[in-house]
Homo-oligomer: A and B are copies of this chain.
Amino acid sequence: MQLTPKVKEILSWYESDNPGTKANLARILMAGKLSGTGRVVILPVDQGFEHGPARSFAPNPAGYDPRYMFELALEAGLNAYAAPLGMIEAGASSYAGAIPTILKVNSSNSLSTTKDQAVTGSVSDALRLGCSAIGFTIYPSSEYQFEMMEELRELAEEAKSVGLAVVVWSYPRGPMLDKTGETALDICAYAAHMAALLGAHIIKVKPPTSAISLDAAKKTYEKYPVDVNDEVARFKHVVQACFGGRRLVVFSGGEAKGTEDILKEVRAIHAAGGNGSIMGRNAFQRSKADALNLLSSIIEIYQTPAS
């Protein structure tokens, strides 16, 4: 498969990585309907762990069967499918080589009262299951953030050494942050930047709001203003925080919401130069037909050449 110039450019950003890791990044970038565009749409299914099976799959019970997720990602022409160990094990052989997979190697759940996650998968698991990358969540600001970063460091170093890519979910939460703070623009950019500093190849953050949370940062944003009321400007700020746009950054869709809201957000990400979306509940909690429609509309936006 001939790589496109765009993909070659992206790979050039990762100049320290070995050919194995570059190949796996290329596999993700060259898969599906967005192949070669430098944009990606990824299906993540860690909702079962995070919220339990009924809250995740009752709206569309086909989703109880892990094979459904592989099918959905494949039929929709997505770039990759990300899930915890058991979900990947349940289909990795049937769908081997059909679609790039990302093994989510840590997980939390709704029965926990601490802002931490359990490590639930390994680099060896990712290799034996044919995954292209590992996925790892950090909670910057949590009491456990340093432990999480150290776990990531070890897993990422091992992953890179065996030619896997590293996807980091960077979700700030902790004693210094209220609900608004968790998605404030400064915090979101900070979270993305830390993921980049930690060596992530692909960074996943939540869409930033117009809030500025840290007192220490307010002075800076006053002196060097970002138009916080402009959604595109906010996404651009986060893209800039990812090494001036030289790291892949994708945004989550967040809670299930209406199709128009989703597409509006996607258009802003696209316009800002973001690299794509990670779309979970909004995809697998609809009927397959509805999900394919929505994903098709999203992909169509990302297929539009950048203006």
Contacts and interface: CB of A to CB of B under 8 A. Distances in A.
Interface string A63-87: 0111000000000000000001111
Contact of A86 (B55, B161, B196): B196
Given A53-B240, A54-B220, A16 B92 contact: yes
Contacts of A161: 124
Contacts of A174: 111
Contacts of A117: 146
A76 to B, nearest CB: 20
A144 to B, nearest CB: 9
Given A65-B246, A197-B107, A220 B58 contact: yes
A179 to B, nearest CB: 15
A20 interface: no
Interface residues of A, number: 90
Contacts of A176: 111, 113
Interface string A211-248: 00010110011011010000000000100110110110
A119 B150 contact: yes
B243 A90 contact: yes
21 contacts: A48-B194, A49-B194, A52-B189, A53-B240, A53-B241, A54-B217, A58-B223, A58-B224, A64-B240, A65-B243, A65-B244, A66-B246, A85-B198, A110-B190, A110-B216, A111-B172, A111-B174, A118-B153, A119-B149, A120-B198, A121-B153
